[in-house]
Amino acid sequence: MTVFSHRFDPTVLREYDIRGIISETLRPEDAFAIGRCFGSLVVRAGGSKVAVGYDGRLSSPDLEPQLVAGLRACGLEVLRVGLVATPMLYFAAYQLGTDGAVMVTGSHNPPNYNGFKMMLGRKPFYGAQIQEIGRMAAEGDVVPVSTAGSDAQVDVAAAYADRVMQDYDGGERKLKVVWDPGNGSGCAITKVLAERLPGEHFVINGDVDGTFPNHHPDPTVAKNLEQLIAAVANEGADLGIAFDGDADRIGVVDNEGQILFGDQLLVVLARDVLKAMPGATVIADVKASQVLFDEIAKAGGNPLMWKTGHSLIKAKMAETGSPLAGEMSGHIFFADKWYGFDDAPYSAVRLLGIIARARETLAAMRAALPQVINTPELRFDCAEDRKFAVVQEVKDRLAAAGAKVQAVDGVRVLTGDGWWLLRASNTQAVLVARCEASSEAGLERLKAQLAEQLRASGLAAPDFSGANAGH
């Protein structure tokens, strides 16, 4: 009997997924090992069926068959949904009644990356569970090889599009919309929705290309939205919508070509959800503007600040029964009528319904929000074995000084000027900082306080030059 044993490059087992550089830290044999180990967990949990999808990266067609082979070796029935957006795989898990799901995707990383996102049952698979995959592989702790496994191709695209369109509630008003799926795996579904929605729709960068020839597939970076902004202006569109490489994150540009940040978008969505569900809990991550939390409360909701990370947010939504959540990174989660997972095409359709019913433009909605000045997310290197320690040191000093601190995820320090945040990234050897104030002078004071705390822990302050932005 062949004894299974495999060692992963230690850098690929991340907090929320498995991800690495093709042919350097991630190879097809890793995909087989993931199938073997994750499949064993499904079998031990009493499951028999797993859905698998993959994104448009050049390496995905090499990884997906190996993943399937590993799952089949566990005796599982594998339902292969093909090249799809990540939320379409999540949808398949519900639609097909599977016991788990694995998506081969490098998300918004550069073209030479790839990876795996998983759900076990209906829950996100992350943190210690991903580390457990590494242990199982190293120790060969897997179920015996079975010849009972099988695989079949299943197309969920039509069912997904039908279900998404079921929740479009924009009436007859016809919008003009520009879409940019960024040559990612959301291209096909973008074209289907653009065809079915009322109004005029223009799709740019709409063909899958794993080299991402037009721009990097990350809609939270302003540079990657330049084409979309230009197209919105050229077409005189009501808004522009962008997706990341696997379409689980959304970026939005209003009719004036201004970017709506994740927290501003969540304000627009939350007001609509709260009309139907007054008093409901709406969750946002710790990096979001105070404006968001205030506006949720003003709209009759219960704002809840939570830890950054899509898996952590999904788990908190399930725990609290929240119908809506979002992150600054563009992950938006609907659970009022939808399934509670992050889904950019679905979020786009819900947003279009709101704008089509509104008397004002999206730009007017954005402009009416209280104006604050903030830095973008600032990321700077800090050794893996120091990053959490630095945050704890800062927390201890602030506690001794009697500062007002929210410690949900790192430290978010509240002052008369506004707030500043310092947290350790769960996925990289970096610290993340952000500051927000009601005035330029206040923002400078916050940045000085942050820099002082970093210096006290032996770190240089991040480069704040050019970092201020109205929001």
Residue 196 main-chain phi, psi, to 5 deg: -90, -25
Instruction: Name the packing angle between helices 344-357 and 157-166 (round to 10°).
Output: 30
Distance, CA of 114 to CA of 58 (rounded, Å): 9
Distance, CA of 125 to CA of 117 (rounded, Å): 8
Length of the chain: 471
DSSP letters spanning 188-231: HHHHHHHHHSSSEEEESS-S--TT--SS-S-TTSGGGGHHHHHH
Taking a C-beta distance cutoff of 8 angstroms, is the pair 165, 193 a contact? yes
Strands 176-180 and 200-203: parallel
- Closest by CA position to 327, among listed 429, 442, 250: 250
In whole angstroms, how far apart are CA 88 and each of 168, 191, 192, 223, 379? 17, 14, 13, 27, 31
Number of H helices, E strands in the chain: 14, 23
Taking a C-beta distance cutoff of 8 angstroms, is the pair 171, 196 a contact? no
Set 40, 59, 60, 107: catalytic member = 107
Check residue 58 and report its DSSP letter.
Answer: T
**Whether residue 107 lies in the annotated active site:** yes
Cα three-residue angle 290-126-42, rounded to 5 degrees: 145
* 398 Cβ contact partners less than 8 Å away, ≥ 6 residues apart: 405, 411, 413, 453
Distance, CA of 435 to CA of 447 (rounded, Å): 7
- Closest by CA position to 152, among listed 47, 79, 48, 49: 79
Taking a C-beta distance cutoff of 8 angstroms, is the pair 79, 85 a contact? no
Catalytic positions are 107
